[in-house]
Amino acid sequence: MSANGPRVLVVPQVGWAAAVAAELAARLVERPSLRVCLPTGGTPTPVYAALAKAVRAGRCSLAAATVVLLDEWVGLAPGDPARCDVRLQGELLDHLETPPAFVRIGVDAADLAAAVARHDAAAAGLDLAVVGLGMNGHIGFNEPGSSPSGATRVVALQPVTITAATAQYGARSAPSGGVTVGFARLLAAQEVWLLVTGERKAAVLRQALEGPEDAACPASLLRRHPRLTVFADEAAAAQLRGI
């Protein structure tokens, strides 16, 4: 990419998760009290396994860190296997002897609006926001059409996103919506990392990094951030021209 554009790191698939985990471990060593927003989904799963291994080996610790959940389904019962809090707990936090403070999204609260406002406040002042890339360019549940100034909010989900809850993550019922940290908080973080793997993400990654900045591809809005790092494996980066 250009000197003023995102930092794009392309790593072979076999070592991709370990490379991302090593970078995250280094941030934790530099700043043990790291405030980090983390996603769930298939892409970060191996990163969390590698990070937990690094913690057990004594290379870093999350004990003093704060993890803020990026998004959550609305309408799934507590404990549903597709819930983002359940997935992050099972993939990372339960594997740590001393887990970090974990800020869930209060989708089960009687006053959902108040819970969303609390999460928006919790997402202020992030040191690092880690996000994945959806097939339609979404970031968290910031679906196409999202504003770069969007707050943490309840959102209506596109059918393909709702289908993923049951088809990919085993939800016991279809979610009725989602809550997501908005671009206003993500773009205000000290750093943003975009994690992308697989050939099927190659076209949308090219659109996000080399197409026009357009809310139709929400990931393209991340290019506004002065410290955006993209961690891509070779298959996901195959269509990029500028690297």
* Active site residues per annotation: 71, 136, 138, 143
Under 8 Å between Cβ of 205 and 144: no
Q: How far apart are CA 229 and CA 223, in angstroms?
A: 10
Burial profile 209-242: b = 16 or more Cβ within 10 angstroms, e = fewer: bbeeeebebbbbbbbebeebbbbbbebbbebbee
What number of H helices and E strands is found in the chain?
A: 7, 10
Under 8 Å between Cβ of 39 and 123: no
CB count within 10 Å of CB 42 equals: 12
Instruction: Give residue for tokens 């975009």.
Output: 194
